[in-house]
Structure 1
Amino acid sequence: MYDAIIVGARCAGAPVAMLLARQGYRVLLVDKARFPADIMSGLFIHPRGVALLKRWGVLHDVLATGCPQLYSAAFDLGPIELKASFYPVNGVDFTCAPRRYLLDPILVAAAVGAGVEFRDNTTVQELLMDEDGCITGIRARTAQGTTVTERTRIVIGADGVHSFVARAVKPEAYHVNPILTCGYFSFFSDVTVPRLKAYIRPHRFAVSVPTNDNLVMVGAQWPIEEFARIRTDVATHFYELIGQIPELATQVHQEKQVGRFIGTGHVPNFFYKPYGPGWALVGDAGYHKDPILAQGIADAFEDAEMLVKALTRGLSGETIMEEALAAYERERNESCLPQYQLLMQFAALAPPPPDMQMLLSVIAADPEESTRYLGVLQRSVPVAEFFAPEHIASLMA
């Protein structure tokens, strides 16, 4: 009998497992993939996420992979370019973007080191339920093709936007927004990018991020209405977009591409009620949004800490589990919702209105305010604080 079974061993599931095991709980962590394995996902970790890696004692291992430390970012809007240092969080003033086939095994190793039992290449086929409708365990197929049944006090779905656990428990969805963008990325060699840089054009978005092996990840996004056209010839449309950005066009060429294009037109925007009798959801399984501001990994790390705080109160008997998980949902929503609403504006890919262009011009001329604005996009500076009427008035004065 386990205290917790966690389905999904990536950026949400592995930290939940690790943090629970460090408190003495018996934890089983399963993933359908055979590790190490790359996945179709972003790489970028905001400073608040890097600060958590440091607190968990795994940042050294992540940086030891050769992943560059990035201390600044630039936003090129055509007539305006905003450059800024990253807003520091708990003494961490840099970001990084490790390849997932390197990052995820490091997180799993930290979980195993804490006492977690890890089984990869294990596919959950069914959630077990008692007569009262409470989830009590899993039935899964192992790498050897055998079927196993495991019992637990709680099953945690950390298995991403297409979560099997979420499909099984059918949670309530809210704050649902339509899909706004489609996107593709690939990796390129011999591209000189000293920092993260985003290029914002009307109905187009591109980004370049240095990563491991002296490669740069270059991504592009279009309005979802163009997905049917884009997917018929991704390479042509990708290089056409890059060609509209002279700085990238001079460096990003097909002969420098390393690997295939990775992308999708299915990037839903929603919150799920993240708990119920015998189950909980964490990371993308419980809250998903457009990747345009690259919040996914840092959000997953923070979500993991919030959930573990609640689980500890419930598993220890300090409070009723349902009450503890309801508090987790409130904390998650209060933390994420303001940024989620701002992110929806970015994902619309609409040109900034004249008053916003004027404000960005003012911010770009002030290094301190540029860093604070970047802090808003990092989700380190509260949206309401930066955009408070009195602050905007002082800037525009």
Structure 2
Amino acid sequence: MRDSVDVVVVGGRVAGASTALLLARAGLSVALVDRGRRGSDTLSTHALMRGGVLQLSRWGVLADVVAAGTPAVQRTVFGYADGEVADVAIRPRSGVDALYAPRRHLLDRLLVDAAEQAGARVLHETAVTSLRRDGSGRVAGVVGRTRSGVRVELAAGLTIGADGIRSRVAEEVGARTTWQGWTSSAVLYRYVEDPLGDGFEWTYGDGAGSGVIPTNDGASCVFVGTTPARMRGLRRLGVEQAFAGLLDAAGPAAAERARGLRPVTPLRGWAGLPGFARESSGPGWALVGDAGYFKDPITSHGITDALRDAELLAGQVLASHAGAVPEHVALGRYQETRDRLSRDVFEVTERVAAYDWDAPGIRSLLRRFSAAMGDEVEHLEQLDRADVAG
């Protein structure tokens, strides 16, 4: 099977599906290639921050997220080791009056469906095995293989890697690491029955953090996080004991809240990986989502990052395609904006994932994080106003 498109996007999760959606809606021919099954699940914190909800609303996808029974999150509760509890209501802004935390098998499928409806060609269960190159060495598409063994070759003017932390596209093009983090969280999580959950609940205790995140089907995701070294030591006693011990360390309120919820899945874990940013583009290629920029999940901002960067990249690709600016200049602007909006969020997340803070220290970090998210929303609002003006 051989074909030619303007853009091929490798990876059909949030970042890749969103990028394909925006480019296809603008009239480009787009192929979206993903090695997984349509609607499969993946590890996630689920939580969408205001910027992410704003984008889903603008793109017409939020209504489907809500229609699928995703609960509206009207408040965020913060608990600290010194006993202080802050209950913060979600205030309306830019048409966003609630936050959401959809399951990934729902959100990813809705974004892929929207991309397909916009005209993108979607190939699931297709693994990219190599990149095509032209005579100058410029990336010119992908070569892959379906699960049934059929060879697929897609020529493309631009190849976008949205294929996660261990990106095949990033590896093939030799994308340099531009930022390197040094801290990481080891996490245990499970889904529990929680029909009354209506808020994000974050707790920061003695070298550990926890969260309760309301999601679909009357369930919440409950997680605990700490340093990988501490997690390895605790898990020697058994995974359930490690989970319970970290809930206690996060704080009595966190432990009591979780004990009242009936598990509906077994415990699962994430061993942790330090964050990083990679150079985001080169001749014929670009990176988006975790392929280009990843940070520890303890601040629950990954999905919002992916949605944001999909829009930043799509806007610059369209400017280049229209001839308004050379490709290398447009893609350079994408990285510059991505890095500017990400730097403070990344640095705060690094500090939080060290788990060496006291109560005043974590409150200060979270205030800084909130300010960085405010800058991000302001930038997205400006994009929205520019679209209306145009």
TM-score (norm 1): 0.88
Task: Please say if residues 78 and 203 of structure 2, whose CA atoms lie closer than 8 Å, have aligned partners that are also in contact.
Answer: yes
Comparing 100-109 with 308-317, which one deviates more in the overlay? Answer: 308-317
Cα drift, residue 143 of structure 1: 3.0
Aligned to 2:370: 376
SS, match of residue 144 in structure 2? strand
Cα drift, residue 268 of structure 1: 2.3
Distance 1:184 1:87 in 2: 31
Cα drift, residue 339 of structure 1: 1.6
Task: Please say if residues 87 and 380 of structure 1, whose CA atoms lie closer than 8 Å, have aligned partners that are also in contact.
Answer: no
| Letter paired with 1:246 | P
Cα drift, residue 378 of structure 1: 7.2
Task: Please say if residues 311 and 325 of structure 1, whose CA atoms lie closer than 8 Å, have aligned partners that are also in contact.
Answer: yes
Which one of the candidate residues 284, 287, 292 is aligned to 2:293? 287
1:5 equivalenced with 2:8 (yes/no): yes
Q: Superposed, which structure 2 residues align to 1:201-350 within 5 Å? A: 201-232=205-236, 233-244=238-249, 245-253=251-259, 256-350=262-356
Cα drift, residue 261 of structure 1: 2.4
SS, match of residue 168 in structure 1? helix
Cα 1:124–1:345 shift into 2, 3 Å: same
- Structure 1 residues 219-250: Cα deviation after superposition (integer angstroms, max 9, x where no partner): 11011222433455322201222244333433
Aligned to 1:128: 132
- Structure 1 residues 143-194: Cα deviation after superposition (integer angstroms, max 9, x where no partner): 3211111100011001111211111112111221113221121101147533
1:102 equivalenced with 2:106 (yes/no): yes
- Structure 1 residues 251-289: Cα deviation after superposition (integer angstroms, max 9, x where no partner): 434982222323322322111100011110001110000
CA-based RMSD of the aligned residues comes to: 2.3
Aligned to 1:367: none
Cα 1:263–1:89 shift into 2, 3 Å: farther
Task: Please say if residues 15 and 289 of structure 2, whose CA atoms lie closer than 8 Å, have aligned partners that are also in contact.
Answer: yes
Comparing 142-151 with 322-331, which one deviates more in the overlay? Answer: 142-151
SS, match of residue 352 in structure 2? helix
| Structure 1: tracts of 5 or more residues without a match | 361-369, 384-397
Comparing 188-197 with 158-167, which one deviates more in the overlay? Answer: 188-197
Which one of the candidate residues 114, 119, 131 is aligned to 1:115? 119
Cα drift, residue 120 of structure 1: 0.6
TM-score (norm 2): 0.89
SS, match of residue 334 in structure 2? helix
SS, match of residue 307 in structure 1? helix
Distance 1:49 1:206 in 2: 22
Which one of the candidate residues 75, 78, 83 is aligned to 1:75? 78
1:171 equivalenced with 2:175 (yes/no): yes
Aligned to 1:363: none
Task: Please say if residues 40 and 262 of structure 1, whose CA atoms lie closer than 8 Å, have aligned partners that are also in contact.
Answer: no
1:147 equivalenced with 2:151 (yes/no): yes
Task: Please say if residues 185 and 218 of structure 1, whose CA atoms lie closer than 8 Å, have aligned partners that are also in contact.
Answer: yes
Aligned to 2:17: 14
Task: Please say if residues 210 and 254 of structure 2, whose CA atoms lie closer than 8 Å, have aligned partners that are also in contact.
Answer: no
Comparing 131-140 with 6-15, which one deviates more in the overlay? Answer: 131-140
- Structure 1 residues 45-85: Cα deviation after superposition (integer angstroms, max 9, x where no partner): 01110010010011110011111111110110032212212
| Structure 2: tracts of 5 or more residues without a match | 378-390
Distance 1:73 1:353 in 2: 17
Task: Please say if residues 179 and 224 of structure 1, whose CA atoms lie closer than 8 Å, have aligned partners that are also in contact.
Answer: no
Q: How many residues align?
A: 371
SS, match of residue 73 in structure 1? strand
